[in-house]
Amino acid sequence: MTTGNLSRVVWKISFPIILVQANETILHLIDTAFLARVGVTELGAIAVADSVLLLFLVLPIGLADGIQILAARRAGQRRPEAIGVLFIQGLVLVVVVCIASTAARKLVWPTVGSWFVESDAVNAAVNGFLQIASYGITFTSMNFAYSALFVSPSNAIGNRSPAATPARPIVSA
């Protein structure tokens, strides 16, 4: 494979990722602009609360990545029936971890929050936001798990016949 072809393959893979990241950045900018009109306390609170929520999403996202890797492996082994079993087990694990994470966050943050936020007003706003937003951790993580299911083995899900689509390597020697 020539350098030009390899560069084209890299761009084909990375360009959608670049667009997604740019979209997320634009979304955060819009949220910041609108929230700044509400008040400085709320703007500071959402900055802290978003970081705390992302911290509690690390483990479920890692589990969703594991689902994607294992589902892609099962698809590569031409075992599409094993993908469903794998997904259900992974989804149950993600939901259990999210419920435990939500409970831990709701119990721990009111105590630990004052260590990270000096202002009582900002801490109260962060706690109020997190009390509501923590329920979304489970649904967000389930979304990541379903995305992992549909991204990795798309060839095996859409096509039950292993002989119908031959495997093609991305990079050949």
Give the C-alpha separation, 40 to 82, whole Å.
51
Q: What pLDDT does 108 receive?
A: 86
**Does residue 172 fall inside a structural domain?**
no
**Does residue 163 fall inside a structural domain?**
no
Question: Are 8 and 62 within one domain?
Answer: no
**Does residue 150 fall inside a structural domain?**
yes
Question: Are 3 and 79 within one domain?
Answer: no
**Does residue 25 fall inside a structural domain?**
yes
**Does residue 171 fall inside a structural domain?**
no
Question: Are 68 and 34 within one domain?
Answer: no
Tens-digit pLDDT profile for residues 33-85: 888 888 888 888 888 888 888 888 899 999 999 998 998 888 888 888 888 89
User: Total domain count for the chain?
Assistant: 2
Question: Are 1 and 31 within one domain?
Answer: yes
Show the DSSP H helices in the chain as ranges: 3-38, 40-76, 80-116, 120-133, 136-151, 154-158
**Domain containing 33: what range?**
1-38
Give the C-alpha separation, 129 to 117, whole Å.
14
**Does residue 98 fall inside a structural domain?**
yes
Question: Are 52 and 112 within one domain?
Answer: yes
% of the chain residues with pLDDT over 70: 86
Question: Are 33 and 44 within one domain?
Answer: no
Question: Are 26 and 47 within one domain?
Answer: no
**Does residue 170 fall inside a structural domain?**
no
Check pLDDT > 70 for residue 164. Answer: no
**Does residue 58 fall inside a structural domain?**
yes
Check pLDDT > 90 for residue 88. Answer: yes
Give the C-alpha separation, 9 to 50, whole Å.
34
